[in-house]
Structure 1
Amino acid sequence: MTVDVETGSRILLSPPDVGELEQEYVMRAMRSGWVAPAGPDLDAFEADVADRVAVAHAVGLASGTAALHLALVSWGVGLGDVVPVSTFTFAATVNAIRYVGAEPFFVDCDETGNMSPELLQRAVDQLRAAGRSVPAIVPVDMLGKCVDYAAIGEIATGAGARLLCDAAESFGATYRGRAAGSFGDASVVSFNGNKMMTTSGGGMLLTDDAALAQHVRKLSTQAREPVPHYEHTEIGYNYRLSNILAALGRAQLVRLDDMLKRRRAWRERYRALFADQPGVSILGGADDAGDNCWLTAIVVDPAVSAWSADELSAALDRVNVETRPVWKPMHLQPVSKGLHGVLDGTSERIFERGLTLPAGSVLSDGEFKRIERAILGVTAA
């Protein structure tokens, strides 16, 4: 890649947004002596997140993947079970299902990028007709937009399946006035470095189920029994979030609303930029009032638009701006060979035509102007 020296440093999709407040919280945790995994900042961070999302229990973990994994382990999901899951997602969602030996069953998305309730119902009916065990369903909130939890929750209830909501991308979003992370039998969020807020690495399980929270917490610390010596009656994992990283998360949570506002401002500017472009739409649709606007992606119909997503990506790369295709559907991944699902081609079409654009809360007005100039250079040509 050749970069014009006048373009400046590379503009990333969603870099971490940390500053003096985060330094203050982390240093305070270190000075307290609570450097070991557990500690008062972890307890407080869990309580703060649970309060914000309005759930009874939160368990801080090493990643959102760990939260998915431990929920499935706690529910006894395993060999012989089939778990319907969004195909339009990052690999971690599906990996957690495979960790426990269950079979992922891919469900395609609708035009928002989220799991289609209609196709989910078809998948559940098909699996039940075949006599398959369906103990859980795992929908994913795509790029910070909540799935249709009313419809999907009703399907899960009808199937007698637990609903494990992958809200890794949607912390801070809402659905019908309720916070992402408060739905289903349990939800998981991610605090990875590129998410809405970060603990460097990390995630959390959120639930109103006290027994589930207690068991996940136990499993995350190697399943040690509450006795003076080391006693273990089941397999455990080293999945607990550290106290120092939780301190970072506490500072981020204080600033979350401001970070949400910044990302929404970029979403609106992108929407205005593409408003008069035939065949171009914002992924997720026009109704994004409840979205957290974690990332903004466009979908370009090559039969209508005068330019393609690939052409725009190349133009932005020339001025040192990072872009990325949307998720490659999991049913197309080589690692998924031999797996099945209910698919109608929607996720494949979005993957072929979609492009994710920078929308981080640290993005500056000057950087956005660089992005804007490059976009106008393509769209006005």
Structure 2
Amino acid sequence: MTDTDARIWLSPPDVGDLERKLLLAAFDSNWVAPVGPDLDAFEAQVAELVGVRHAVALSSGTAALHLALIAAGVRRGDTVLVPSFTFAATANAVVYLGARPVFLDSTPDSWNVDPALVAEELRARAERGALPRAVIAVDMYGQCADYDPLLDACDRYGVALIEDAAEALGATYRGRAAGSFGLAGVLSFNGNKIITTGGGGMLLTDDSRVAKQTRHLSTQAREPVPHYEHRTVGYNYRLSNLLAAVGRGQVQRLEQMIAARKATFEYYRSELDGMTFMPIADYGAPNYWLTCALVDGDRDRLLAALNAKNIEARPAWKPMHLQPVFADCVMRGGDVSADLFRRGVCLPSGSALTEHDRKRVVDAIREG
């Protein structure tokens, strides 16, 4: 296979000499256990970047969501408001605790959860004495949800807000960093995210109680005594020191990666007049994690045409209310998120994408 035939992936890892140097230094120091100096440094680095007091690095973004919901007091039988247009992990973490997700539709203005629907649902549930324990907002494809009205609604009814910023590190809302809103913010460092540790996630918070509880539960809830003492059920959720070393290098290159992904978004938008790209809300700046667009035609035929050219592209998220596993859950609205799934396509957006790669994608779309 020639270089021009090489597979173009949707959002592959982009690691280099800096990450390798930091990883080998951690390895050579023998800090290969779950905790160590690179883990502490990585947490401090991200906390400073986002502007929060506490950061706890964990094994995945899903683990961070799980512990954030525990910190919000979610228990068996509770309800949690969740955007329908999201990845399954957002809803799965609710079910881990025996709670029930209530799904809400998106707004076409940003593809994020509709704040008016959130406020309406909270009002209706308050009137019948059935408020949810928490609301999760998701920063879709690297663009922040509209947090002013979301925070107003949650504060009015005393409901915790959790920010699923798994896709959004480096994005901002009215000058404030993604991951800094609500009781806790959640990041993912999965291999396809804007920065990666190969796997992993992080919980961000200004609340010292939440940070302390999260650290405790993520290390099997071991009590600080010489023997192994446990007074509650814990989890093996800590990120390893070696992976944190990779993350330290990735954070240093974050601005460069955002700029590269933004350039790809702008190239696609300028070259593909027949596609409607995800709107950029005027209240902030995304990190351009994935370039997504709507196709007026046969979306699946286009995906097949791209795959035939050795180009990976994927449908937009299938909404949770259309997933068989959540078929019996309550849904409010649904037309917007269903249409985003029916017509939505995610295009190759990696930060190492070359001009030649971008042209291959555009040419294949035009042909398809």
What is the TM-score normalised by the length of structure 1?
A: 0.93
Matched, 1:292 2:282: no
Q: Which residue of 2 aligns with 1:98?
A: 95
CA contact (8 A) 1:123 1:341 kept: no
Matched, 1:213 2:211: yes
Q: Select 1:197's aligned residue among 195, 201, 205.
A: 195
Counterpart-to-counterpart distance in 2, 1:75 and 1:195: 26
Counterpart-to-counterpart distance in 2, 1:177 and 1:211: 26
Q: Which residue of 2 aligns with 1:305?
A: none
CA contact (8 A) 2:105 2:113 kept: yes
Q: Select 1:260's aligned residue among 250, 258, 261.
A: 258
Q: Give a deviation string over 1:148-185, Cα, whole Å, max 9, x none.
A: 01111111111210110000000110011011011111
Tell me the SS of whatever aligns to 2:81: strand
Matched, 1:109 2:106: yes
Q: How does 1:297-308 map to 2 (within 5 A)?
A: 297-302=292-297, 308=298
Query: Which one-letter code corresponds to 1:232 in the other structure?
Result: H
Q: Which residue of 1 aligns with 2:359?
A: 369
Counterpart-to-counterpart distance in 2, 1:93 and 1:58: 20
Q: Give a deviation string over 1:57-104, Cα, whole Å, max 9, x none.
A: 000000010011011123321122110011100000000011111110
User: What runs of 5+ residues in structure 2 fail to find an aligned partner?
Assistant: none
Relative to structure 1, the CA distance from residue 19 to residue 345 in structure 2 (aligned partners, 3 Å threshold; closer, same or farther) is same
Tell me the SS of whatever aligns to 2:285: coil
Q: Give a deviation string over 1:10-61, Cα, whole Å, max 9, x none.
A: 1110000011111100000011111100000000000000000000000000
Relative to structure 1, the CA distance from residue 6 to residue 43 in structure 2 (aligned partners, 3 Å threshold; closer, same or farther) is closer
Query: Which one-letter code corresponds to 1:91 in the other structure?
Result: A
Matched, 1:321 2:307: no
Matched, 1:241 2:258: no
Q: How does 1:276-291 map to 2 (within 5 A)?
A: 276-277=273-274, 280-285=275-280, 287=282, 290-291=285-286
Q: 1:286 deviation in Å? A: 6.7
Q: Give a deviation string over 1:220-276, Cα, whole Å, max 9, x none.
A: 0000011111111111000000000000000101111101110000000011012x3
Counterpart-to-counterpart distance in 1, 2:104 and 2:264: 30
Q: Which residue of 2 aligns with 1:33?
A: 30
Tell me the SS of whatever aligns to 1:66: helix
Counterpart-to-counterpart distance in 1, 2:140 and 2:243: 26
Tell me the SS of whatever aligns to 2:276: strand
Computed over aligned residues only, the root mean square deviation of the Cα atoms, in angstroms, reads 1.5
Tell me the SS of whatever aligns to 2:140: coil
Query: Which one-letter code corresponds to 1:222 in the other structure?
Result: Q
Counterpart-to-counterpart distance in 2, 1:242 and 1:154: 37
User: What runs of 5+ residues in structure 1 fail to find an aligned partner?
Assistant: 303-307
Counterpart-to-counterpart distance in 1, 2:37 and 2:253: 20
Counterpart-to-counterpart distance in 2, 1:186 and 1:74: 9
Counterpart-to-counterpart distance in 2, 1:284 and 1:45: 32
% identity of equivalent residues: 53
Counterpart-to-counterpart distance in 1, 2:293 and 2:282: 14
Q: 1:6 deviation in Å? A: 7.9
Counterpart-to-counterpart distance in 2, 1:198 and 1:285: 24
Q: Select 1:148's aligned residue among 146, 149, 152.
A: 146
Counterpart-to-counterpart distance in 2, 1:288 and 1:32: 45
Q: Which residue of 1 aligns with 2:168?
A: 170
Counterpart-to-counterpart distance in 2, 1:179 and 1:258: 17
Query: Which one-letter code corresponds to 2:290 in the other structure?
Result: L
What is the TM-score normalised by the length of structure 2?
A: 0.96
Q: How does 1:38-57 map to 2 (within 5 A)?
A: 38-57=35-54
Q: Give a deviation string over 1:135-156, Cα, whole Å, max 9, x none.
A: 2100101000000011111111
Query: Which one-letter code corresponds to 1:14 in the other structure?
Result: S
Counterpart-to-counterpart distance in 1, 2:212 and 2:284: 35
Q: Which residue of 1 aligns with 2:327?
A: 337
Q: 1:8 deviation in Å? A: 1.1
Q: Select 1:60's aligned residue among 43, 57, 64.
A: 57
Q: Which residue of 2 aligns with 1:350?
A: 340
Counterpart-to-counterpart distance in 1, 2:129 and 2:281: 40
Counterpart-to-counterpart distance in 2, 1:80 and 1:284: 37
Relative to structure 1, the CA distance from residue 289 to residue 377 in structure 2 (aligned partners, 3 Å threshold; closer, same or farther) is farther
